[in-house]
Structure 1
Amino acid sequence: MRTSTVLLALPALSTAQQFPFVDQVKAFFGQASASISSAIPEASIPPIPNPIAAGAAAIAAANVQRLTLDNHERVLRPGAATASPGVEEWMIFVTGGNKTCFGNCKGVEQTFNESVALISASPSPPNLALLDCETDGVLCNAWTVTIPSILHLQIPQPLADQSKPSTTIRYIAVNRTSATAPEFAALHLQEKYKETQPYDGFFHPFSGPLAIAGALIPFGYLMWGIAKVPSWAIMIGISFFSRTFMGRRFGPQAGRDGQAPAAAAPAAPAQ
């Protein structure tokens, strides 16, 4: 029965295909389907995270302290005095973002995170910290650091009389494109940090003249503020200052009233 019904419908279908109305209906539904498809965006497939990078970031988050302007004095404070004073070793990774590192520190920061597991597995691991100059520019300017880099600190514990020897600091440059996790780890495991001479200059963050005078952080604010000023504003200021100076130095000598000085009276004729 169903077969006979289909057979009877075949001539009707073949006849209907000869009418343009059927074609118009087909075209209408085709356009509607295309409009709906374009209105519904394709489901974006989220990228699969790198398990190595994710694991390294988790280990770094658990072992690396975030150094900021507010907590750096408390975090880097040496331990209590002991019978046999020792030295606290610190490795501070200095990084930045789009403005301070032009977006080129993301890869080397991941490499540093991968080295944290190697460093932490050593018999006497150092204290690890991260300083982000994108969010803590004042501290970075006060310490005059470069991005990216490693600050290696040796902070001595106070003696029995509460006197504290000077802190040793080394500024170790890092190649943002070719640095590897074993190279970071070798700074501690193989004491490669000793290949860099300690810094003992004017801007020493612990024993320099500015630090002793308590002016290191104000200096950091000053340099941070200057860095925030657009270059065009600095050029306008220099141009205005130079024109004012040149005008006063080489311009016409005006009197007190702003008028040119009167000409001298002619000499009286001789009698």
Structure 2
Amino acid sequence: MRSVLGLLSALAAIALAIWLNQEVAFSSARQVVPGCTALDTSYWISQLSLLDESSYDRWVYLSGNASCRNVTLCQEYDTAVIAIRQNAQLLPNTLSFVDCDADPVLCYSWLVQPPALMHIVSSKDSQTKPTGRSNVIMQPIQLPVSNSTQSLPEQFNDATANQTITYIMSDEFPIENVEVWDGFLNPFTGALGKYGGGILWGKVKYRLGWLPVSQQTLIIGVLLLVRLFIRKIGPSQTEVTAADMVVPPGSLD
């Protein structure tokens, strides 16, 4: 009976892996910020030139309608980001965006919900060449900024979307006070993320996110299925009986 259940679980894990690995087709991204690049799940690292020699700050704005927890809020921040793009004349390669309606997998893989900003900076040294992956720093900023983050001064507690975006993307903003994302799904330093675990999680969240379970429960369930599958395809182990535990095999030879 146990072997049958194990086999069924392994088959379920295989089916889940095949299902998750299927291409996910979405609608074309909205031009959320005119003149800026819409990032794509498959190519966002090269789109941001993160592995190039040059080092500069990148800002990625995450927006959405259906994927936004508050559509009105997202629209307010959309307008604010467009305004600062036009007024400050930011270089096109310093500001990009993700339409989480068109590419939810990328947003889920970063563990953020729109509206949000992701600050990314990379630098090269002799120890990180040729990939440079360990020297890419990602700092997510969920909008509106929570008072508990201590990222904004007290006078910004009731700031408008335009005031918040203008301050965050200015030279006066203490970006060093924003927590660095160094979790296991980080695509550059994470134990699973640097092997594509973040994108896999994005697909899991997109396909199974409707289930009435918490994010932690969903992660644990997927990991258990994967572990069971690995055990089934690994080398078989001889079952240890109660007699073997009392008298180890070979001890009476």
Q: Among residues 115, 119, 132, which one is paired with 2:84 in the alignment?
A: 115
State the AA in 2 paired with 1:78: L
Contact 2:32 2:63 in 1 (8 A): no
Structure 1 residue runs of 5 or longer lacking an equivalent are 1-57, 233-271
Instruction: Name the residue aligned to 1:196.
Output: 178
**Inter-CA distance 173–100: structure 2 relative to 1 (3 Å threshold):** closer
Residue 167 (structure 1) aligned to one of 131, 136, 141 = 136
Q: What one-letter code is carried by the residue in structure 2 that aligns with 1:107?
A: E
Asked if 2 retains the 8 angstrom alpha-carbon contact of 1:92 and 1:128, the reply is: yes
From the superposition, tell whether residues 59 and 95 of structure 1 become closer, same or farther in structure 2 (CA, over 3 Å). Answer: closer
The structural deviation recorded for 1:207 is: 1.4
Query: Retained in 2: the 8 A contact 1:119–1:125?
Result: no
Which residue number in structure 1 is paired with residue 23 of structure 2?
none
Residues 202-257 of structure 1, C-alpha deviations (whole Å, 9 max, x = no match): 2223211122222221121011111145x59xxxxxxxxxxxxxxxxxxxxxxxxx
Asked whether the 8 Å contact 1:153–1:169 carries over to 2, the reply is yes
Give the match for residue 107 of structure 2.
Answer: 140
Aligned residue pairs total: 168
**What letter is aligned with 1:138?**
V
Once the two structures are TM-superposed, the CA of residue 68 in structure 1 deviates from its matched residue by: 2.0
- Paired with 2:86 and 2:115, the residues of 1 have a C-alpha distance of 20
1:214 aligns with 2:196: yes
CA distance in 1, matches of 2:55, 2:186: 18
**CA separation in 2, counterparts of 1:146 and 1:113?**
19
Structure 1 residues 132 and 163: CA distance shift in structure 2, 3 A: closer
Q: Structure 1's 142 and 79: CA in aligned 2 closer, same or farther, altered over 3 A? A: closer
Could you say which residue in structure 2 is the equivalent of 1:103? Answer: 71
Q: Is the 8 A contact 2:68 2:115 kept in 1?
A: no
Counterpart residue identity of residue 185, structure 1: T
Contact 1:115 1:182 in 2 (8 A): no
- Which is worse superposed, 98-107 or 192-201? 98-107
Matched residue type, 2:200: P
1:219 aligned partner, one-letter code: W
User: Closer, same or farther in 2 for the Cα pair 1:211/1:187, shift >3 Å?
Assistant: same
User: Partner amino acid for 2:34?
Assistant: A
Whole-angstrom CA distance in 1 between matches of 2:95 and 2:39 = 10
Conserved 8 A contact 2:108-2:206: yes
8 Å contact from structure 1 (residues 89, 126) kept in 2: no
Contact kept? 1:94, 1:133, Cα under 8 Å = yes
Q: Residues 185 and 99 of structure 1: is their aligned pair in 2 closer, same or farther, counting only changes over 3 Å?
A: closer
- Per the TM alignment, residue 126 of structure 1 is displaced from its structure 2 partner at its CA by 6.4
**Please, what TM-score do these two structures have when normalized by structure 2?**
0.56
Q: CA deviation at 1:67?
A: 1.1
1:99 to partner: Cα distance = 4.3
SS at match of 2:38: strand
Q: Displacement of 1:185 after TM fit?
A: 3.0
CA drift of 1:91 comes to 0.6
Structure 2 Cα separation of the partners of residues 60 and 225 of structure 1: 28
Query: 2-side partners of 1:195 and 1:174: how far apart?
Result: 16
Q: Which amino acid aligns with 1:131?
A: V
In structure 2, what residue type is equivalent to 1:133? C
TM-score between the two structures when normalised by the length of structure 1: 0.53
* Matched-pair contact (CA < 8 Å) for 1:59–1:116: no
Cα distance in 1 for partners of 2:130, 2:189 equals 16
Query: 2 CA distance for matches of 1:90 and 1:110?
Result: 19
RCO higher in 1 or 2 (8 Å CA, sep ≥ 6)? 2
Question: C-alpha separation between the residues in 1 aligned to 2:160 and 2:140?
Answer: 16
Look up the match of 1:67. 39
CA pair 161-216 structure 1, distance change in 2 beyond 3 A: closer
Residues 112 and 181 of structure 1 are in contact (CA less than 8 Å); yes or no, is this contact kept in structure 2? Answer: yes
Q: What RMSD over aligned residues (CA atoms) do the two structures have, in Å? A: 3.2
Q: Equivalents in 1 of 2:51, 2:200: separation in Å?
A: 27
